Structure 1
Amino acid sequence: MANTAELEGVKEIEQIIGGMGMAIQGLEANPSKFKSDRLFFEAVKAYYERLHRANLAGEPIADSGLFVPVEVYRAMDIPYFLAEYHSILLTGMIGEGIFRFMDIAESYGLSNEICSPHRVAIGLAKSGMIPRPSFAVSTATSCDQTLKLYENLANVYGIPAFLVDSPYGSSERDLAYARTQVKKLIAFLEEQTGKKLDLDRLREVIAISKQCYDYWEKICDLRKSVPCPIGSRDSIKDFGVLVTSAGTPQGLRYFQDRYQEIKARVDQKLGAIPNERHRVAWLYVLPLFDLSIADWMEQEFEAVLVVDTMSYASDIVLDPSDPIDYLAKKPLKSGFIKLTYGDGGVTGFSKMMAQQIRDYRADVAMMLAHWSCRQYCATAKMLRDDVTQEAGVPFLIVDGDLLDSRVVSGAQMRNKISEFFKTLGK
């Protein structure tokens, strides 16, 4: 075991694990509406515990993008660190303390217009506050800034990097190319770790992963119910478990229990709030520095987010009988990837958003124009015009940033949302 005084990120990861443990204890003492909330913290805690053990033991660690098919890591017993997810999680824990790491990244040379989770990730790396990785892996999805993040992390640490050149489309030609990329990823991981992939073990992991995704898709469908059975923030937990724990028993238990609890609420016609007045389709992601905005919308305007782009399962069919094909298709199961960057470009995305609004019976559409997100901000007006015409619902663009409240504060966002609801006149 390495000298912990010389290791990076030991104390910081221990604090994360401790925070998860405290959350679990709190839910045991005072259970929430959903018992599966505790399983969320247990799953994410187990992910960080595995990472922590690897750091202490000097095992190779992958610095990984969110949309790399993590099942291959699980099958090869490779611990992985999700730089973007960690940045988001940490923001929820330390609030404005996160600005420090953005500033460090900017002093390193990153523009303040770079995506805030990416600036935080670089700032944490430069501060020695996360486990030192042995190699980096990213995907061509979700955005160009993601590519540059992992290039920068590789430069900071002086480590090799691999790009899974995942296509944006889902044609057979696209998927054939994606399968070649999965094979190259496996070869890269074998070279970096000295481990050989056991296909039988991969099939075991994928079998569990498939069940996780099946339950997640069912949960997404349950949100179509009137009234919507879960609140605006609940779906964010699902994404966290998918990226940290897909293919694990902890992840499967979470999704099994989550589905059963939500299904029971639908059967009993129980909504997230007593009187559902508005059903909101939220395009892109909530402002993650202030998720209480969602609670405020429920309380102030009886408005529930029934669907959002990040927590939406696409129509891609995952077949576990072919492990390579499964891994190639899996990133496209995320609506965030398949709908935003996939077939049909902006026009196709607009049509799919309009269809979502109809399927989920939303009467309002909103979009966070995350100011450093080139593709969303560049298409915001086109999306608003097209979706309004296709679906016939009012559409609000909310300016802001995912993590940096200095761009637009939570109070400013609330003011804009409040004025919007006043114009609806109902």
Structure 2
Amino acid sequence: MTAMHDLPVNSPPAAARRHPLAWVPTLYLAQGLPFYAVALVAGQMFKSMGVPNDQIARWTGAIGLAWAFKALWSPFLELAPSKRLAVVGFQLLGGAALGLVALALQLPGWFALCIALLALVALASSSHDIVADGIYIANLNEREQAAYAGYQGAFFNAAKFLSLGGLLLLAGYLEQHVGTEFAWTTVFALLGGLLALLGLYHLRALPSGPQDKPAGGKARDVAATLVDVIRSFFAKPGIWVAILFIILFRAGEGQIQSIGPLFLRDARALGGLGLSTAEVGFAYGTVGTAAFLAGSVAGGYFTAWLGLRRAMLWLILAVNLPNAVFWYLSEAQPDSLALITGALGVEMFGYGFGFVGVILFIMQVVASGRYQTAHYALGTGFMQLGFVLSKVVSGDIQQALGYRGFFLWVLAAALPVLVLSRVMKLEPGSADAAGHTPRADTSDL
């Protein structure tokens, strides 16, 4: 393990280096598919099968805790002899578990079985994310990380729109023609198959580099490293303000992602828009998809051009202000699908543009120092914790306030992170708590 500290991880051998566009988009598509299968697709399935909003938000949110606590086992993944093969293995396992969800829908006690299998998907996917992010950090320098963060965010979240777009359109069509159960069996079988195919592609597409060196050390040594990783993380100057910022950054987004699609489908008598499964899929799969991808790429280049510190306020505004679209839709309740789709496009562009901010803040500010990859995993774990906490309570808040009051609450939830953005002291490239000059390090995967 210690021998890897001296490797120049941001400069892999020229012969081994692959162009980032050959693997960054597909790697983060594979990272996003299982995440959104748990966070969003499962919710739409449960909605179609009559599960209440609060139960949907609570269970899918609880399963998401796997992403929040993934950093606790991140150093043990260093024992894997090949990080590339570890990524592939987790993708294949996640694909198999998603396929088993399709089978579980045919069995008695389907709800409990689906929750258990989705929990397995979450564990495999969260473990995959640790190693995948390590490969990203190890093979790209700081400027490349900023430039390709747009693609990273775009294709991670493109999985959302592939799921809530194309697959939801398919589910809506099949619900009308062959029934709800078979429709969602088909959707989860396709999700599992796609993730497995991506795993096979990555056998050759992922770069060869220092993260593929043979593992050394023992579990006892890794456990000692984990203690040092956690200690050094919490010893960083200003870390508690940074953690609070990370948790609150997605407070509005987590609630919107949970309740927004359910609002679109709920009956108008209940305050929703009464859209069908297929209509929700159309809205997210057309303008919503294009707007989000454009926003993500633009946000990456915008931040690379302006610098993270100067761009942060604009990124926070971009990810939160467009949530007003949902308040407008709940107030006006328009009948036009074109108008609804266009409004969602505005919200999705802002979300894509601003999401880059929290990713680069964790990567370049919080994770700087000796244990860059493990500290990045800890930072994204806190990000997911904030997402999960907001998601778990979102159903209860929505039922207490109604849709109009809920969407106003979501806008108010953006105020704390705006305040924090003005008082944070950490800067990109700052020294870690021990005074070391930051450098990338793959030994802490």
TM range (shorter): under 0.3
- Higher relative contact order, chain-length normalized (CA < 8 Å, sep 6+): 2
More helix by share: 2
More strand by share: 1
> TM-score normalised to the size of structure 1?
0.27
